[in-house]
Amino acid sequence: MMPRVDGGATPSRFPGRLDSSRASNSKIMVRQPVIGGSAGEPPKPPHTPAFTLGGGDNEQERLDEELRPQRLDDVVGQRAVVERLKIMLNAARKRKEPLGHLLLDGPPGLGKTTFATVLPRELGTECQITSGPVLSAPKDLLPYLTNASYGSILFIDEIHRLPHTVEEFIYPVMEDFRVDISLGEGLNARTINMRLKQFTVIGATTRSGMLTAPLRDRFVNREHLDFYTIEELADIVRRNARKLHTKISEEASVEIARRSRGTPRIANNLLRWTRDFVDSEAEGEITTALAQEALARREVDDLGLDRQDRRYLETLIRVFGGGPAGVQAIAHSMNLAADTLEDEVEPFLLRCGLLQRSPRGRIATAEAYQQLRLAVPDPDSVEKQKRLF
Ligand code: ADP
């Protein structure tokens, strides 16, 4: 069934934070959707700069923006991904064609938005940004589609959270650059077929497994971002300390990197915290001792586990006897959303071998007990207990 777009739909707000400092000089006009328009004065099109960020305007986004690399050469790590993207960019430039649609997946804070915003800068093209949960109906997507100029980029963050109706609406957009709009009802029903300029959709997801196969298949290019090495994170800490006009010793950068759970966003946040700590409690350069003290105050342990990670493992061990336990049950006990655990907590615990996933649920490993300084249960006594019940 074709998705219906309500007549005269005018988005009450064009969701977006304006990042004028980083926007290119060109401006895009936000045209109002011209579907089933009611008679009368056409609404005045608001101006938005080339980079428009939608879907939540919070403090973390502002902080990310401040330290975000601006060009592909400033991006640290992910070498194989960077190389492939460079090839795609070169080919697109040579052929003077838009990039193929690109899907970026990986845990939060690994650089999906960074890559998505660096690419249009490299191409000197416009970029509109929105996110899956903001697009509750096809009409919410329409202004972005009609705004999209030839070769521009539409970045959809959290694309796995697009509602089904919007997802169906986007298929012909991605494939043939057209939208099918049904207007009116009953005998008066009509279908309008609107052609769009050829542009590129960049989708980002923390859960590529949740994408439907038809949507995934429409992305000709797919890149998975993996956790960063300590050396790469130390490089990011050093570069960003310079951006923040903060002196940091070589070893202190490595200390922060070591506890950043393989994630640049966490490295940035720990760097900021350490800088605040040093400015408040000491003076001068961030040394290893000061970094250690700052991170201990923030309750980040030697592996980089924070309070939430430890609470997860403690719940699994104390409430569920170490597992196997379902993520929903753990989430209920912790009073958190299962999504948060699956996206933000589990990937790193799995990666560093503190957690196992089995068909019957999550299991804490012996290393998890050691990390929390808890006695590892004797497998024989566990078996006996199981037999008793
Ligand atoms: P995601 O969209 O995957 O959640 P972001 O792209 O917003 O992650 O990255 C969060 C922050 O981490 C960025 O603002 C940037 O400062 C930093 N960052 C991410 N990836 C890199 C990278 N490859 N090199 C340097 N900094 C990075």
**Predicted confidence (pLDDT) per residue in 190-218, tens digit:** 888 889 999 999 999 998 888 899 999 99
CATH architecture designation of domain 4-224: 3-Layer(aba) Sandwich (3.40)
CA distance 53 to 63: 14
Ligand 1: distance of its center to the CA of 113 in Å? 7
Across the range 280-300, mean pLDDT stands at 93
User: Among candidates 225, 217, 221, which has minimal Cα distance to 100?
Assistant: 221
Tell me, using a 6 A CB cutoff, whether residue 75 lines ligand 1.
yes
pTM of the model: 0.80
Ligand 1: distance of its center to the CA of 269 in Å? 11
Highest mean pLDDT pick, 43-47, 279-283, 304-308, 382-386: 304-308
Across the range 219-248, mean pLDDT stands at 95
Lowest mean pLDDT among 29-33, 119-123, 264-268, 317-321: 29-33
Residue 365 annotated in active site:
no
Residue appearing with tokens 């960063």: 228
Buried b (16+ CB within 10 A) or exposed e, 249-281: beebbbbbbbbbbbbbbbbbbbbbbbbebbeee
What pLDDT does residue 58 have? 78
- With a pLDDT cut of 70, the percent of the chain lying above it is 83
CATH class of 230-297: mainly alpha
3-class SS at 250?
helix
Question: Do 4-224 and 307-388 agree at the fold level?
Answer: no
Supply the DSSP string of 66-112, one letter for each residue. Answer: HH---SGGG--S-HHHHHHHHHHHHHHHHHT-PPPPEEEE-STTSSH
**Predicted confidence (pLDDT) per residue in 59-88, tens digit:** 878 888 888 999 999 999 999 999 999 999
User: Among candidates 288, 304, 297, which has minimal Cα distance to 252?
Assistant: 288
Which atom in ligand 1 lies closest to the alpha carbon of residue 75? 24
Q: Has residue 227 got a pLDDT over 90?
A: yes
- Which CATH number is correct for 307-388, 1.10.10.10, 3.40.50.460, 3.20.20.70, 3.20.20.450? 1.10.10.10
CA distance 281 to 381: 49
Residue 73 annotated in active site:
no
CA distance 233 to 257: 5
Q: Has residue 1 got a pLDDT over 90?
A: no
Across the range 354-360, mean pLDDT stands at 94
Domain boundaries, the chain: 4-224, 230-297, 307-388
What pLDDT does residue 198 have? 94
Tell me, using a 6 A CB cutoff, whether residue 261 lines ligand 1.
no
Residue 206 annotated in active site:
yes
